[in-house]
Amino acid sequence: MIEIQELTDTSVFGQIAEHQHEQVVFCHDHETGLRAIIGIHNTVLGPALGGTRMWQYASDAEALNDVLRLSRGMSYKAAISGLNLGGGKAVIIGDAKTQKNEALLRKFGRFVQNLNGKYITAEDVGMTTKDMEYIHMETKHVAGLPESMGGSGDPSPVTAYGTYMGMKAAAKKAFGSDSLAGKRIAVQGVGHVGGYLLEHLAKEGAKIILTDYYEDRKLEMAAKYKAIAVDIDEIYDQDMDIYSPCALGATINDDTLSRLKCRVIAGSANNQLKNEDIHGPALVDRGIVYAPDFLINAGGLINVYSEVVGTSRQAALNQTEKIYDFTLQVLNKAEQEGSHPQKAAIRQAEERIAAIGKVKSTY
């Protein structure tokens, strides 16, 4: 699940400088054994928001690399979605099954609190709602809590809706119509987001092929949505119009590229392209329309943002619907520029950050 990039410069400041991160906080506590890193990429648009991940990294350099990469991704996701949020992320180094306890999490919460709202944390891999409750005991700068605690609740249905909107826009580009009726759509991973996505696809009359690591879940979803269930490695070889990665990152890579006979790729997984500079252009060469991952999976962040600014879930859904227009804009822009959609999306995000930075340059 965790994709570690190859490090070009392993020095701490070398890595921080590479993508111009603003601030990186190393948190250590002798009593609880806490070792965490908070990465703040950019706060031009607003406070840096992003989840806390707990993972057993092979080295501190890997942990730093992960937090830097993820926090940068959050800046882009917020910027392209028109949100006034910056990009941040945190990692706690350790085994989430054996090394997590109340004191460690509350200590981490105090480090978040010390940033005075410059960083807002949320749930990510290796963390549970209960863990977030502990962190919340020491800091108010936590978002994405359950509705029972005044939060915005499960983001997955909103993420799925945005992914569906992005998929329709990409279909419009590839097929001339955004209707998914009769389209063969292969969904890889039918967990929280994938499960909700299936509802939209089934309602539109798509022919669904699906897979999941968990056999029970796979069969349950296949029966519910009259879908064809296949083994996890068979998903790439299906006769399909649309491939929808909703499980893991880096599934578009040298091994899978020649196997994917689809016209569209649109899914919720983060970091779908193993190497953006290689696999982004390769998809264009193959005539596959790729809906940029961080653009079409932004519904969850939009939902959390509604909690930060105090608007409703309906407002979040309305904003998420705009992913359709944003996706079409990016796809057209990439075509005009002769580049690839991921690159065009990153450029658009960077341009908004730069433009708003200039707005804020005077008092």
Q: Which residues are annotated as a binding site for NAD(+)?
A: 189-194
E-state strands within 94-201 = 119-120, 184-188
Q: Choose the stretch contacting ligand NAD; rule: CB under 6 A; options: 62-70, 111-119, 155-163, 221-229.
A: 155-163
Give which of 223, 212, 288 is closest to 246, Cα–Cα: 212
**Which listed residue (19, 192, 286, 322) binds ligand NAD by CB under 6 A?**
192
Q: Choose the stretch contacting ligand NAD; rule: CB under 6 A; options: 46-54, 143-151, 212-220, 334-342.
A: 212-220
* Contact between 259 and 171 (Cβ < 8 Å): no
Return the structure tokens found at 296.
């079409």
**Binding of ligand NAD by 302 (CB under 6 A):** no
What residues contact residue 250 under an 8 Å CB cut-off, 6+ apart?
Answer: 3, 271, 272, 273, 274
Q: Whose Cβ is closer to ligand NAD: residue 74's or residue 344's?
A: 74
Q: Whose Cβ is closer to ligand NAD: residue 111's or residue 196's?
A: 196
* DSSP annotation of 211: E
Q: Would residue 333 show up in a list of annotated catalytic residues for this protein? A: no
User: What angle in degrees, to the nearest 10, is found between the helix axes of 323-337 and 156-175?
Assistant: 40
* Contact between 231 and 211 (Cβ < 8 Å): yes
**Binding of ligand NAD by 91 (CB under 6 A):** no
Between CA 41 and CA 76 the distance in angstroms is 10
**Binding of ligand NAD by 82 (CB under 6 A):** no
Between CA 33 and CA 29 the distance in angstroms is 6
**Binding of ligand NAD by 238 (CB under 6 A):** no
Q: Whose Cβ is closer to ligand NAD: residue 139's or residue 268's?
A: 268
**Binding of ligand NAD by 246 (CB under 6 A):** yes
**Binding of ligand NAD by 269 (CB under 6 A):** yes
C-alpha distances out from residue 166 to 159, 161, 170, 242, Å: 11, 9, 6, 12
Q: Closest distance between ligand NAD and the C-beta of residue 330, in Å?
A: 17
**Which listed residue (212, 222, 229, 250) binds ligand NAD by CB under 6 A?**
212
Helix (H, G, I), strand (E, B) or coil at 277: helix
Q: Whose Cβ is closer to ligand NAD: residue 231's or residue 285's?
A: 231
**Which listed residue (135, 185, 242, 248) binds ligand NAD by CB under 6 A?**
248
**Binding of ligand NAD by 268 (CB under 6 A):** yes
Strand partners for 266: none
> Can you give the binding site for ligand NAD, defined by CB under 6 A?
155-156, 159, 188-189, 191-194, 211-214, 217, 232, 246-248, 268-270, 297, 300
> Would you name the residues annotated as active-site residues?
89
